[in-house]
């Protein structure tokens, strides 16, 4: 079973491949959205917040950032493996990435994540 976020096609001889860049953009969007969801989860559950406390002086923020970075790098590695050397529709990739970044930003905004606590 495969899940395709965007269609990756072979590169024509007159095109430069943009698959690696598209993978980086999508991974950034997914990482930002993951951070937003982790913020909401930590605010909604004291157990999750306690679990995410990797450094006591920093509190749950240390775990939130660590998990988000792990998600971002893991997704980037997988997407790069799948998409590198191919050609994607940059408008679709950029639009999806921007939407994910906006979702991540909104979920880290106190009036929004405060709705879940």
pLDDT in tens, 87-101: 899 999 999 999 999
Predicted confidence band at 1 (pLDDT cuts at 50, 70, 90)? very low
Q: What angle do CA 81, 83, 84 make, to 5 degrees?
A: 75
Full-model pTM: 0.84
Torsion of the alpha carbons at 34, 52, 109 and 112, rounded to the nearest 10: 90
Task: Pull the structure tokens for residue 33.
Answer: 């959205």
- What does the pLDDT read at residue 113? 86
- What does the pLDDT read at residue 66? 97
State whether residue 59 is helix, strand or coil: strand
β-strand partners of 9? 87
Mean pLDDT of 81-85: 92
- What does the pLDDT read at residue 117? 75
Per-residue pLDDT of 29-81, as tens digits, reads 999 999 999 999 999 999 999 999 999 999 999 999 999 999 999 999 999 99
- Whole-angstrom distance, CA of residue 15 vs CA of residue 98: 24
């Amino acid at each position: 079973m495969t899940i395709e976020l965007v269609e990756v096609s072979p590169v024509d001889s007159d095109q430069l491949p943009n698959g690696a860049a598209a993978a980086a953009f999508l991974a950034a969007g997914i990482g930002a959205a993951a951070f937003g969801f982790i913020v909401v989860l930590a605010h909604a559950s004291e157990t999750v917040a306690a679990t995410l406390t990797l450094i006591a002086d920093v509190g749950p923020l240390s775990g939130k950032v660590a998990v988000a970075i792990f998600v971002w790098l893991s997704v980037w590695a997988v997407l790069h493996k799948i998409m590198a050397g191919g050609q994607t529709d940059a408008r679709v990739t950029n639009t999806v990435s921007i939407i994910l970044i906006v979702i991540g930003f909104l979920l880290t905004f106190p009036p929004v994540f405060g709705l879940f606590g």
